[in-house]
Structure 1
């Protein structure tokens, strides 16, 4: 009886041992499988991270390439603008030089023409100079009349003209104005009045230039300077934006002085 109980207990112990061994084996297998899956998941996570980093790196490089190209294009555009600006500056300087040269040649031409016209004009007696054909009025002072020197008057006029020729415009304007006031009846006064108008124009005062030239036209309408004075009036009117006034003045030049050079100039300007 006792022997049977011992055998039964031995069998139960052996079964328990076998079951425990089997459970341990199964647990070991499960742990191995779980560890393998975890390791495989870790490998997959690293590869995904590396792929994402690589993608970001590629995108950043592409952006840098785009920015570099844009900066390079911008630098080229800036350089092109600098070259164009330098070219334009050179053209402006050339045009300014040509304009100043043209103005200088024009002044020289007018002064030369003025001299030739004065040589053609009859030399009348200067104001205040004794005229033998005129009878002396009672109470007059012959000594004062003979005090004016025609040569001195001519020198005074030429001095003012030389100031204009030297481009000393303000000084020339003052000199011509003084001459006109001092010698209102001199044969040189129309010329001085004309050059006074040109001086005001050169000083960019078109209103004064118009007023002065109108005196030439109204007071000495038959003087050779009168047609040119009207052309100068039209030029000032154009610069002041008075297109109707300019047109009327040019037509008046053609009507009053049809055979003059000024009339030919007026016809050309009216056609434009």
Structure 2
């Protein structure tokens, strides 16, 4: 019996030994797979961390780009606002220039209507004098009024450069003509129209000195002030306008002078 039990124990030990060997090998094989799985997991984790870091960097770069874009947009808005302000100022300047041009044209038309009538009367008087005077076959035909009227026709046609030449020729040819102050006056107007303001002032003043209280005196003073305004000499322009209002308070030129003073002050 003991022999039989020993035999059974031996067989059991051998079976256990036989079973133990593959179990140990299986355990060793399982550890290798676990290590490989852990290493793979670490690689994936590191890759995920790297991707996350890159994503964070890309996100930060995108935010900086957005901020830069917003700054550029604000800069453009400021520039557009400035351009809009400049455009509005230019529009106002153009409107003011157009208004001044209309005023100048209207004043010129008014002066032409008011001042050419006396010249027509002078023409008739000169014609009567010429008809009553004895003719002289030896003397050449000199007609200052005809030359003056021809120069006025050039002026009315809007040929201001030609009008300057015509009036200058008249002044040279007829220095003692009754139309001499008027020729100075209209020469000044032609020079004003071509922006030759300094020469225009000289001729307006010469006309005014020859006829201090003549039919064109108030208009000459107003024209001088207009030239001074164009020359940016506001102080002189205000003085001229004040003098005009004092000397010719009831004239149309005085009313225009008051309007110009209101804009200058």
- TM tier, smaller: 0.5 to 0.7
* Residues in 2 aligned to 1:169 and 1:191: alpha-carbon distance in whole angstroms: 16
- Higher helix fraction: Structure 1 or Structure 2? 2
* Residues in 1 aligned to 2:173 and 2:63: alpha-carbon distance in whole angstroms: 86
Q: How much is the aligned-residue C-alpha RMSD, in angstroms? A: 4.7
Tell me which residue corresponds to 1:34. Answer: 35
Tell me which residue corresponds to 1:10. Answer: none
Tell me which residue corresponds to 2:204. Answer: 213
Among 218, 222, 227, the alignment partner of 2:213 is: 222
Structure 1 alignment gaps of length 5 or more? 1-13, 134-140
Structure 2 alignment gaps of length 5 or more? 1-13
Once the two structures are TM-superposed, the CA of residue 211 in structure 1 deviates from its matched residue by: 0.9
* Residues in 2 aligned to 1:193 and 1:86: alpha-carbon distance in whole angstroms: 41
In the comparison of the two structures, how many residue pairs are matched?
244
Task: Provide closer, same or farther for how the CA distance between residues 268 and 202 of structure 1 changes in structure 2, counting only shifts above 3 A.
Answer: same
* Residues in 1 aligned to 2:261 and 2:83: alpha-carbon distance in whole angstroms: 41
Tell me which residue corresponds to 1:108. Answer: 109
Once the two structures are TM-superposed, the CA of residue 132 in structure 1 deviates from its matched residue by: 6.2
**1:97-136 to 2 correspondences below 5 Å:** 102-119=103-120, 124-125=125-126
Tell me which residue corresponds to 2:50. Answer: 49
Task: Provide closer, same or farther for how the CA distance between residues 39 and 264 of structure 1 changes in structure 2, counting only shifts above 3 A.
Answer: closer
* Residues in 2 aligned to 1:186 and 1:109: alpha-carbon distance in whole angstroms: 25
Tell me which residue corresponds to 2:8. Answer: none
* Residues in 2 aligned to 1:168 and 1:229: alpha-carbon distance in whole angstroms: 21
Compute the TM-score of the two structures, normalised by the length of structure 2.
0.66
Once the two structures are TM-superposed, the CA of residue 44 in structure 1 deviates from its matched residue by: 1.9
Tell me which residue corresponds to 1:193. Answer: 184
SS at match of 2:178: coil
Task: Provide closer, same or farther for how the CA distance between residues 98 and 246 of structure 1 changes in structure 2, counting only shifts above 3 A.
Answer: closer
Compute the TM-score of the two structures, normalised by the length of structure 1.
0.65
Q: Is the 8 A contact 1:253 1:263 kept in 2?
A: yes
* Residues in 2 aligned to 1:41 and 1:110: alpha-carbon distance in whole angstroms: 102
Q: Is the 8 A contact 1:164 1:199 kept in 2?
A: yes
Tell me which residue corresponds to 2:151. Answer: 160
